[in-house]
Structure 1
Amino acid sequence: MTKRERRSFSKDFKEQVVQLHLAGKPRADIVREYDLTPSALDRWVRQHQSSGSFQEKDNRTPEETELIKLRKENQRLMMENDILKQAALIMGRK
């Protein structure tokens, strides 16, 4: 099985495909006609129903948003800790 090149789709295209699905066109026909993966179509439909937006940041749960924030803060604190360790080593040599 060959790996498919990653493609990007416009918001308008996603909206049109979702509207076709909501109008009753079979999922298999949409996937075949537009050469999509079934998981991409399912994700677009789910995103459209939950928030009406296809942006990942608009479809995150509060827990996911908090986790991303905490990971960034943790990374920043680890960098600060490394800087302080290096400063302590330099000051200890003097």
Structure 2
Amino acid sequence: MPSKRPRRKFTDEFKNQMVQLYLNGKSKSVILKEYELTPSSLDRWITQHQQSGSFKEKDNRSDAENELIKLRKENEHLKMENDILKQAALILGRK
């Protein structure tokens, strides 16, 4: 079985250079071969650049996604508070 290639990390500068190559007319297939990139990575970088100009995931989230994340955090906090109150009620009920 062939060994998996280690996951590579790319700087924002490198990602921007790849997007600029594509925007200046270089074909995706040539960029992918030359820099040994995956098609999904290059496509994601191009999309992120067009949407917000940033390659950070948090900058490319929609308002609905941000709201969902906020509500999930709030829900977890409320569950924790509820568990604490249940424990307190059990302790006080025994006395």
Alignment TM-score, normalising by the size of structure 2: 0.92
Give the structure 1 partner of residue 71 of structure 2: 70
- The 5 Å alignment of 1:1-12 reads 3-12=4-13
Relative contact order (alpha carbons < 8 A, sep ≥ 6): 1 or 2 greater? 2
User: Which ranges of structure 1 fall in alignment gaps of 5 or more residues?
Assistant: none
Q: Structure 1 residue 32: deviation in Å?
A: 1.3
Q: Which amino acid aligns with 1:68?
A: I
d(CA) in 2 for partners of 1:52, 1:73:
30
d(CA) in 2 for partners of 1:8, 1:26:
22
Question: SS at 2:25's partner residue?
Answer: coil
Q: Aligned pairs, how many?
A: 94
The alignment-based identity, stated in percent, is 67
d(CA) in 2 for partners of 1:4, 1:66:
36
Give the 4+ runs in structure 1 shifted more than 6 A.
Answer: none
Q: Structure 1 residue 3: deviation in Å?
A: 4.5
d(CA) in 1 for partners of 2:19, 2:29:
13
